[in-house]
Amino acid sequence: MMVIISKNYNEMSKRAAKLVIDEILKKPNLRLGCPTGQTPSGMYKELVKAYKEKKADFSKVHAYMLDEYYPIKKTSKNSYNYYLNDNFFNHVNIKKENINTINPESKTPKKECVNYEKKLRKNPVDIQILGVGVNGHIGFNEPNSNFNSKTRIVNLTESTIKQNSRFFKNKEQAPKQTITLGIETIMSAKKIILLASGKNKTEAIKHLINEKEDKSWPVTALRKHKNLIVIADKDAVSLLRQSN
């Protein structure tokens, strides 16, 4: 595991974007796993800026969603499909046919999960970007998810529903289920870049860096990944032991 500590959110976002851009230069048809949330939005801004300045070309890049609420309208402002279009895809030259989405309106969600899993196993992503939940979830793999879990429908924990309800009118309107890549699916990525910013992520980062693998902190599954880069700002590492 490589840990890069940035002085603040902006620096973290710039570092992450630079890593992605460098990989695209090496491999123009890069397969990129795309998360949502507040954490990666600065990185997407940097990627869009690089595209506008002609420093990045997404014309051959393939993108894959990490997770999505279920059920939700794709056009809902709170859907992750909307987020990715609005923050990233609509502003760069990625081809529509190269954007691999999870359909949150599917009438056959189990089939949706099986097909998405198959797609990712056949062609694992080159880079999976990840954020982390306050409770250590990755994607929507909540505490006590199996480390060998696959793409599936999950029930969200009270804590995550509460965290995410800030985006909805009230807690009742916040979705209670999602479709997420499983932990094993995430681990099949060739490289993982995990981003963390802010004091509320420090407990999760401490578990990832200082503690053992522990199902109650899903992020610790990443300790076994051979090519993991953690980019965290100073606030997110404030609980780390000095020796690290």
Q: Which residues carry out catalysis?
A: 67, 135, 137, 142
**Residue corresponding to tokens 């995550």:** 160
Of these, 133, 136, 175, 182, which contacts ligand GLP (CB under 6 A)?
A: 133
By C-beta, is 28 or 192 nearer to ligand GLP?
Answer: 192
| Token digits of residue 131 | 């954020």
By C-beta, is 21 or 43 nearer to ligand GLP?
Answer: 43
Of these, 13, 15, 16, 35, which contacts ligand GLP (CB under 6 A)?
A: 35
Of these, 132, 209, 231, 232, which contacts ligand GLP (CB under 6 A)?
A: 132
Least distance between ligand GLP and beta carbon 28 (Å): 26
Of these, 42, 109, 139, 175, which contacts ligand GLP (CB under 6 A)?
A: 139
Site size for ligand GLP, by CB under 6 A?
13
What mask, x for binding ligand GLP by CB under 6 A, covers residues 38 to 77?
xx--------------------------xx----------
103 is an interface residue for ligand GLP by CB under 6 A: no
143 is an interface residue for ligand GLP by CB under 6 A: no
Residues lying near ligand GLP in the complex (CB under 6 A) are found at 35-39, 66-67, 131-133, 139-140, 160
